[in-house]
Amino acid sequence: MEYQIPAQTRIGHVHLKVADLQRALDFYCGLLGFELVTTYGTQAAFISAGGYHHHIGLNTWQSLNAPPPPARSTGLFHTAILYPTRKDLAIICKRVNDYKYPFTGFADHDVSEALYLNDPDQNGVELYWDKPKEVWPKKADGSLEMFTKALDLNDLLGELNR
């Protein structure tokens, strides 16, 4: 029998190499609102949402003042940060926009809605919320029908007034 990972398994955290720790903290804590949990001297920091020990680790151990990796190379495509509600996604969308931080894209995947941007080290970041599982579209064989289409930003931001 083929092994199957337990259904309750989750991705616990991501640990990113960054060139400038303070610049990374300004983005993840200052802009996105994560909380600083602890630092390891001036070379590493651990941040979270809601008091968890850490969702994101940031370090300069091998990357202090280094340039970002080339776009056309292997490595992390993006870190996905799941927001609990569509309104929460609208709030962070407005915040990032108000700070004039550049987005790289927006998408409706029919199972989720997503905002895309790069952190200061050019690591991709996806900010998203999942639509209710019961409305996820299925193919004839029962697998998910996922795609990428334009996200209606006006409708998303309309959540702020609901």
Three-state DSSP string of 88-140: HHHHHHHHHHHCCCCEEEEEECCCEEEEEEECCCCCEEEEEEECCHHHCCECC
Q: Which residues pair with 58 in a beta bridge?
A: 16, 45
Residue 117 near residue 20 (C-beta atoms within 8 A): no
CATH 3.10.180.10 fits 13-65, yes or no: yes
> From CA 60, how far away is CA 77, in angstroms rounded?
19
Tokens matching residue 128: 């998203």
pLDDT at residue number 158: 98
What's the CATH class of domain 77-162? alpha beta
Percent of the chain predicted with pLDDT > 90: 96
Domain boundaries, the chain: 13-65, 77-162
Q: Which of 12, 36, 14, 10 is nearest to 125 (CA)?
A: 14
What's the CA gap between 75 and 88, in Å, rounded?
29
Phi, psi (rounded to 5 degrees) for 99: -80, 0
88: number of CA atoms within 13 Å, CB side? 12
What secondary structure letter does DSSP report for 156? H
25 is written with which tokens?
Answer: 């903290």
Which pLDDT value is given to residue 142?
93
Q: Which H or E run includes 86? A: helix 86-98
Report the pLDDT value the prediction gives residue 1, as an integer from 0 to 100.
Answer: 74
Task: State the pairing for strand pair 112-118/124-130.
Answer: antiparallel
Residues written for the chain: 162
* pLDDT tens for each residue of the chain, 162 residues long: 799 998 999 889 999 999 999 999 999 999 999 999 999 999 999 999 999 999 999 999 999 999 999 989 999 999 999 999 999 999 999 999 999 999 999 999 999 999 999 999 999 999 999 999 999 999 999 999 999 999 999 999 999 998
3-state SS class at 21: helix
pTM for the model stands at: 0.94
